């Protein structure tokens, strides 16, 4: 492989994305970051002054809820990612290897449908399924398997179930493209050399699908740590994540400056995780001798 140090002309293809991001992401968020160092909105409020009190409020956390909110966010994100992967991989594999075009289309639609239900209706559907008088609990109680209803909703469990449900499709669609690109004959070759199906999968397909696994995990993790509508509706007070706090500060506490500060903190933490993740991805991909 050549190791050209010069920019290839292909590099210019990044320009449209770069322009979009600079204008619509960097600039607005630079403004918001600046605002997070003010007590109010300096444009409309002549009394607003520079202060670091929003950041201090988070760092010193005298209220005792902010640090916990950050850990909750990361924890829920991690669990959601792992569960989504465990559920998404078999589905992606099935879809990628499916012979019939019709079957493939049907599974594709079934996988995508959850993403389209719409935030609030989806919550009502989960309420119907998970709450004390919901489908699961009434069925289990009718069959005599449990005596008291299981607390499946208004807690972290319910939140994770709902989040996984939304994000599995993202995992599946990311993985299925990658798995689909893996030449089946590599697996067949392993089989013809005597490996069982499981071994062929674990030692051939799985490692080759690693970039997809990492890409899908990164996507789901990023999404789940920024989710706030679903946790608010599904979690009661048992769940308080940083995005939920941010939404509260914007929508009901009317403190956009503090919200901006929290957003900056969340973004910095997330970026640190993502950069580390990408380094691993690059090392793994490089270690396998691929482009």
Considering only residues 202 to 261 of the shown chain, the ones binding other proteins according to CB under 8 A are: 208, 211-212, 215-216, 218-219, 222-223, 225-229, 232-233, 236-238, 240, 243, 246-248, 250-254, 256, 259-260
Write down the least CB distance from residue 144 to other proteins, Å.
20
Q: Are 241 and 254 in contact (CB under 8 A)?
A: no
Burial of 125-141, coded b for 16+ CB within 10 Å and e otherwise, reads ebbebbbeebebbeeeb
222, exposed or middle or buried, with CB in 10 Å at 0-12, 13-18, 19+?
middle
> Is residue 128 at the binding interface for other proteins, with CB under 8 A as the rule?
yes
144 vs 223 by CB, closer to other proteins = 223
Contact assessment for residue 202 and residue 189, using Cβ atoms and an 8 Å cutoff: no
Retrieve residue 18's tokens: 């770069």
Q: Which of 70, 74, 76, 111 binds other proteins (CB under 8 A)?
A: 111
* Least distance (Å) between residue 139 CB and other proteins: 11
Query: Among residues 87, 141, 150, 206, which is the contact residue for other proteins, using CB under 8 A?
Result: 87
Binding other proteins (rule: CB under 8 A), the pick from 116, 144, 145, 194 is 116
Binding status of residue 141 toward other proteins by CB under 8 A = no
Q: Binding residue for other proteins (CB under 8 A) from 49, 52, 60, 181?
A: 181
Q: Is 83 in the site for other proteins (CB under 8 A)?
A: no
Strand partners, 38: 50
Q: Is 214 helix (H, G, I), strand (E, B) or coil?
A: helix
Best CA proximity match to 170, nearest among 129, 244, 227, 127:
227
């Amino acid at each position: 492989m050549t190791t050209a140090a010069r920019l290839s002309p292909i590099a210019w293809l990044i320009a449209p994305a770069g322009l979009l991001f600079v204008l619509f992401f960097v600039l607005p968020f630079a403004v918001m970051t600046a605002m997070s160092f003010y007590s109010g909105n300096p444009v409309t409020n002549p009394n607003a002054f520079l202060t670091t009190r929003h950041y201090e409020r988070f760092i010193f956390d005298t209220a005792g809820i902010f640090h916990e909110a950050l850990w909750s966010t990361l924890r829920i994100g991690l669990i959601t990612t792992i569960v989504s992967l465990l559920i998404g991989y078999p589905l992606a594999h099935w879809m990628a290897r499916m012979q019939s075009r019709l079957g493939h289309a049907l599974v594709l639609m079934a996988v995508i449908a959850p993403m389209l239900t719409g935030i609030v209706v989806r919550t009502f559907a989960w309420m119907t399924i998970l709450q004390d008088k919901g489908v699961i609990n009434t069925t289990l109680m009718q069959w005599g398997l449990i005596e008291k209803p299981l607390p499946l909703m208004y807690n972290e469990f319910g939140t994770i179930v709902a989040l996984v449900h939304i994000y599995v499709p993202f995992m599946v669609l990311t993985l299925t493209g990658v798995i689909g690109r893996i030449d089946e004959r590599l697996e067949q070759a392993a089989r013809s050399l005597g490996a069982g199906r499981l071994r062929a999968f674990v030692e051939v397909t799985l490692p080759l699908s690693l970039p997809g696994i990492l890409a899908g995990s990164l996507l789901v993790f990023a999404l789940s740590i920024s989710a706030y509508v679903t946790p608010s509706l599904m979690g009661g007070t048992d769940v308080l994540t940083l995005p939920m706090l941010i939404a509260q500060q914007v929508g009901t506490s009317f403190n956009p400056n503090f919200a901006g500060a929290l957003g900056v903190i969340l973004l910095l933490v997330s970026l640190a995780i993502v950069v580390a993740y990408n380094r691993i991805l690059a090392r793994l991909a490089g270690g396998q001798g691929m482009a």
